[in-house]
Amino acid sequence: MSETKVAPNPKRINLRTPEVMSLVQAEVESHYRSRVVDYIRNSGLSLSANGMTLKLAKAFGFCYGVERAIDLAYAAAKTFS
């Protein structure tokens, strides 16, 4: 009977350390925040100009799973540059 070799477990790396996540939060905020959206949200959820009206939904943003996936992608990029 032949021996089966088992590959060693790969080293696990915690991407979500406080240091990395503070960098990630700043970068995500810069990419996914908008002064226009903030203005519309603070002025009653609509903005009209030049015959056009923009309306923002009361519930606006990403679900938890999407937020987590974005955070992990940015954290991986920071950790494995």
11 found inside a domain: no
1 found inside a domain: no
24-54 burial string, b = 16+ CB within 10 Å, else e?
beebbeeeeeeeeeeebeeeeeebeeeeeee
Q: Which domain holds residue 27?
A: 18-79
9 found inside a domain: no
7 found inside a domain: no
Count how many domains the chain has.
1
Mean pLDDT for each 10-residue chunk of the chain (81 residues)? 72 83 86 83 88 86 87 88 75
pLDDT the model gives residue 60: 72
10 found inside a domain: no
12 found inside a domain: no
3 found inside a domain: no
Global confidence as pTM = 0.58
pLDDT the model gives residue 15: 81
pLDDT the model gives residue 40: 85
Half-sphere exposure of 32 (CA within 13 A, CB side): 14
